[in-house]
């Protein structure tokens, strides 16, 4: 049996209590909404992407569990300064790690979420912010859902 502390590391609690880049970004030029219909979690991602295609600012708001809130919070820190391609690469690597796949990629701070791989029912909590960001970057009109 895995230790609960592998899932709920101190960093997760920290981001859950004090989420970074939380709130509406008034001058955002990208926005997307995401839902997890199974648990009712909801997230909105705001972004400013400049003409060079670089993500200058990211923020989020919504309601979710500690895993999804921490994942969103850490994600916003990781995405600032990245291009759409770089963001996608980070998400691919992150997704591989949290779904228990083999990966040598360095996912930096996101490593604290790797405990999710032992909790299949919680993977969607961790990936919802990322799917939503992906939709924002690609300017998809339809809200994202995990189902």
Partner 1 sequence: MQTISAPAAFDVAAVRKDFPVLDQEVNGKPLVYLDNAASSQKPLQVQQAMNDYYRHDHANVHRGVHSLSQRATDAFENARTKVKDFLGAASEKEIIFVRSATEGLNLIASSYGRMVLREGDEVLITVLEHHSNIVPWQLICEQTGAKLKSVDVNEAGELDIQQYQALLTNRTKIAAFNHVSNALGTINPVKQMVKLAHQAGVTTVVDGSQAAPHLAIDVQDIGCDFYVITGHKMFGPTGIGVVYGKQALLEAMPPYQGGGEMIKQVSLEKSTYAELPAKFEAGTPDIAGSIGLGAAIDYMNEIGIENIAAHEHALLEYATAKAGEIEELRIIGTAKDKAAVLSFVIEGIHPHDLGTILDHEGVAVRTGHHCAQPLMQRFKVPATARASFAMYNTFDEIDVLISAIKKAIKMFN
Where does 19-87 show beta strands of DSSP type E? 30-36, 41-49, 55-63
Among 26-34, 48-56, 62-70, 91-99, which window interacts with partner 1 (CB under 8 A)?
Answer: 62-70
* Separate counts of helices (H) and strands (E) for the chain: 5, 4
- Over the window 24 to 53, marking each residue x when it contacts partner 1 by CB under 8 A and - when it does not, the resulting string is --------------xxxxx-----------
Between 64 and 93, name the residue whose CB sits nearer to partner 1: 64
Q: Is 1 in the site for partner 1 (CB under 8 A)?
A: yes
Closest distance of CB 30 from partner 1, Å = 25
Sequence-distant (6+) residues with CB within 8 A of 115 are 2, 6, 7, 8, 9
């Amino acid at each position: 049996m895995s230790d609960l502390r592998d899932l709920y590391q101190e960093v997760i609690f920290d981001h859950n209590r004090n989420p970074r880049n939380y709130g509406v970004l008034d001058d955002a030029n990208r926005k997307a909404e995401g839902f997890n219909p199974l648990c009712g979690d909801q997230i909105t991602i705001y972004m400013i992407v400049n003409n060079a295609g670089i993500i200058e600012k990211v923020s989020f708001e919504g309601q979710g569990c500690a895993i999804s809130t921490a994942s969103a919070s850490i994600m916003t820190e990781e995405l600032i300064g990245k291009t759409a391609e770089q963001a996608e690469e980070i998400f691919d690597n992150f997704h591989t790690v949290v779904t228990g796949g083999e990966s040598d990629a360095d996912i930096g701070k996101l490593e604290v979420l790797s405990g999710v791989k032992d909790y299949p029912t919680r993977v969607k909590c961790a990936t919802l912010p990322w799917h939503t960001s992906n939709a924002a970057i690609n300017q998809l009109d339809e809200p994202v859902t995990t189902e």
